[in-house]
Structure 1
């Protein structure tokens, strides 16, 4: 079952969010107090993993206070889920209306009989609605009227629609806990966990994960035999928590040990590489954040890590940059079986390879406004996007007055600038002085840069390698942005494929293919200390020189990959020896000149397909 999106109305500073489409992973980017949390809280109450409801006294918009008396029955949130083929079949089997047995059809008359005379729909949607003063309603669209028993269908939807899991408070001190005092605090709030501190709630989660009953655990501690049994309980619990944490934390191997002395509980964490246990509260804030997130998520999904919609408030805020990158990788893994929505104001938590995941949260007349995409008219959310793209200071404003060509990386920019300078010095055509090269971080990231440039209405374009990654980037740029622009706007963005621009007959063509194969092979040999010959390069497969060389390195020399950065270092040494265009390797000048003529021509005239 796939979560398609949601809408929030009449909730705090959200008068009407409009429909917000959701991806498997969706990032809500915005400043503090813009309303990101309000969107998540309203959505969570729609189908929560734990009890949660709306409170008119707290949640009705303040600036509509005069309508509060008539607020009961007003819609707060709705969401859509689309069913898979298996879901549709399961729903039909559960809720199909029994049909009367015909004369020529002896046997059962229930769902199985109906199935013989009814073709299942290809598309079915479950819509959830919740209003002030009422529980969530479930409605199903896609089946012909009368095919399903309405009550059975709603019961199936209620039981099978993924639950929302809202994780916003991750902090966990890791300090020791007196279990008898914890029990007393729990009793004082009538067993309502949500009224306890987040620290207490997390400890109870740990006990739940370990399948430990707090009352039973304390009782066992009152006798020697009970304490012996309890020691086995905590060992089993420690092992379970270690295994669950390992599913989400890949930076290093860590083992947890729950230690109980009387009523006192301590949690130790031991890095396997070090072999010395350390009390959890001595570990870094970022590590404790990850522990809290991992165990809360484990608890919410029953240890299966699947079939829920995760709502995460500012995940990774305590993590180092590399930890945040790792967390995005965790999201990618979890998204195979879950939907993940998260808020952030961190540039490093915006995945440049997926601009389609971004929703910008704006404050419009003190109310929430949601923009799908990576361009906002407001400075605060745009600061996050600009920082993620490497723009600093007033650079964005400067580029808006230039013609901007996005290239796949810094190496592309260095090579093009070097070749352009030599060609211009020789009286040949180089890159126009008005065109600014803006390096992305690989082909997969160029759609993010393209979306920003198009959204800012820059006079811009993108230069892509003619390979699989470049073609995928071209398709995404067109689908997400260019195809949706008015014709006059389309003319201000160009997509240039490097192979065609250079006049090459190669099927695949990258920036390194501007040079003859021998030049690149010589640079590889100098880098790796090898003696690869042109005859060693494979004839079949990709005709890009980097792919050919990588095949030789893997198949003959046992390398796992071609380190392009190392080879580029050797190429730069060669660049330093070139003082005129005549120093360039054979055919390089002519290929490069064709590329620059293509680029300059594209920017001199309105862009075309």
Structure 2
């Protein structure tokens, strides 16, 4: 079954006429009546047929049938339309009013209306957004397909969901997975990244128009190819897949409900290494329910929280701090985008006016990590005295290390990430009871206790 045109249900139908067209078969053969046919299917879908409604002889039985239809339809649409959970589908039947256009000015007229519980108002189905009317009509149509198909059906859908919001397209994919795929095989075409199943990307195929470019630069078409190597197609063809991957990545940066925004990936590794050692000693490490996410600094925290705030996450920030960051930090706290008390800096835990994550480490221990990372020995070996003298204008150890490396020859350039990765791979540096280890773990434990106390239950 191939679908390239997706009908939209009419919001108002003349029930006696609809009944006549059902009886003589024109409802199912005349393409001009597709909208009315969907209304008939809409009633059948609810379990209350047109004949049930027209055959009701008392108000109570009549009203019960309409309410039953409304309830069934509301439950179904709310299951697969997560954009608005305050709506109800209501089916009404009333005598046509003389001022309405024919044939709706006499006889029984059926109407589909959408009631918004939040605003306590209803509107005609036809006045809803194009995406909503499309989605609702699609659910009705394909329920009929599923029920009436004899045996299994290969469904071919051309560009479904074009009028839908990105999140509504995700709802449509869920409908495909739960309602159609278990019963039928399905292939659909799309240009939308939101219609690409990022959790099963290799089920996708790229349809690529191949072109051969001659030595003289002339382009000659060589045919169309359906490719399984979806990530190796040309840039234009692979764009929807890139979009799907990008969206998936942004949604999984926060892989837990409780998130701590830190400066960069190096901060994550340092904090993980310190927490693991404290846990090994049965002391307080970072609560495992916290997820550490690199935000890139105070400047970007506001954007990060704004982007992901809709996910109802418990977010706090732990930032490096310099004097020039004071105004930015105050503005972030005043914005209330992060809960009160949820913006912390490394300076709060190091007794320094300016501090980075590296300042949690005692100077002797920090020098040991640097020496191990870059295999410094002999005259190049770093010690606390050399570290302090490298740049006396700052108390930040990472800036002192950068200054020290600038005067060394024959060693790799210093960066923030490599020492943290080395520490994570060499946890033995944090073992033992040396004074520099004890003081470092003490500062780290104080930090983790403060972070854990900010976690929402």
User: TM-score range with shorter-chain normalisation?
Assistant: 0.3 to 0.5
Q: Larger helix proportion, structure 1 or 2?
A: 2
> What TM-score, normalized to structure 2?
0.42
Bigger Rg, structure 1 or 2? 2
> What TM-score, normalized to structure 1?
0.32
The structure showing larger relative contact order (alpha-carbon pairs under 8 Å, at least 6 residues apart) is 1
